[in-house]
Amino acid sequence: MFLLIVLLFCFTIFAFVVTNKGAGEVVSERGYKEYRLGDYSNWLQKRVGNGKNWRRIRSCLEDSKVCKSLSDDANVDFQAYIKKSLSPLQSGCCKPPTECNFTYVNATVWNTPATGTNSTNPDCATWTNQNLCFGCQSCKAGVLDNLKKDWKKVAILNIIFLIFLIVVYSIGCCAFRNNREDNAYPRWKGHP
């Protein structure tokens, strides 16, 4: 039981440390945030940066049709689109980063500027209307933001469970000690 408490405590601390960094960046006059991979912990970056892991994650994202709800809104004009509240996955995987200055056609179709993009962001070159931004760093950051939120919830549940285990363990230790003392030093007990 003590080992379980120690392991749970270590995992909870690890979860908080790993998920402490990273948050979406508010974009001026937009209803959504944009996410950057470099804002998250190195440990998490390495997990999604690994080609084998990312291929599996990317496949799941494509199969889950995370961008489908955006493409259903194909007739939404640009002003209505930028006011939408996008999930981290939609913001990172379904549209090019704002700094690329692509021209909006609809939610999942954007045109590259005729003069090209002046941005140094590699996601500007990665974006295509067929594959969207599933290969982008911003998509990986969106996945990490979702992961971060889920791990925070798990860590909070772990703290509650940890407190419960410590209380049960303490009561068990006290009961064990009292039982041992009663057996070691038998007291006079009256007869009924």
pLDDT digits (tens, 9 = 90+) for 9-66: 888 888 888 877 766 666 666 777 888 888 888 888 888 888 899 999 999 998 998 8
98 within some domain: yes
169 within some domain: yes
List the one residue out of 104, 102, 121 whose CA is nearest residue 113: 102
29: left (phi over 0), alpha (psi -120 to 50) or beta: left
The CA-based dihedral angle spanning residues 32, 38, 44, 49, taken in that order and rounded to the nearest 10 degrees: 100
pTM of the model: 0.77
**185 confidence band (pLDDT: 50, 70, 90):** low
- Say how many domains are in the chain: 1
24 within some domain: yes
In this predicted model, what pLDDT tens digit does every residue of 91-130 receive, in sequence order?
A: 899 999 988 989 998 888 899 888 877 888 899 989 888 8
189 within some domain: no
Residue range(s) defining the domain that contains residue 75: 2-184
Q: Determine the Cα–Cα distance for residues 17 and 31; give it in Å rounded to an integer.
A: 29
- For position 140, what pLDDT does the model report? 93
Which one-letter amino acid corresponds to residue 175?
A: A
Residue 83 has pLDDT above 80, yes or no: yes
36 within some domain: yes
Percentage of the chain lying above the pLDDT 70 cut = 88
Q: Within 98-136, where are the H helices?
A: 123-126
84 within some domain: yes
104 within some domain: yes
56 within some domain: yes
Residue 189 has pLDDT above 60, yes or no: no
